[in-house]
Structure 1
Amino acid sequence: MLQEVGHLWNICRSPIAEAVFKKMATDASVVDKWRIDSAATSTYEIGNPPDHRGQACLKKHGVPMMHVARQVTKEDFLTFDYILCMDESNLSDLKKKANSVKNSKAKIELLGSYDPEKQLIIKDPYYGHEEDFENVYQQCVRCCKVFLERNS
Structure 2
Amino acid sequence: MKINWGTAIVIAFVGFISFIMYFVINMSTNDKYNHDLVTDDYYQQELKYQEDIDKVENAKKLSENISWKKTEEGIVLNFPQDLSIKDIKGKVFLYRPSNKQLDFEIPISLSNHNLLIPDNRLLDGRWNITIDWSYKTDEFMYKNEFNY
TM-score (norm 2): 0.23
Higher strand share: 2
TM-score (norm 1): 0.23
Higher helix share: 1
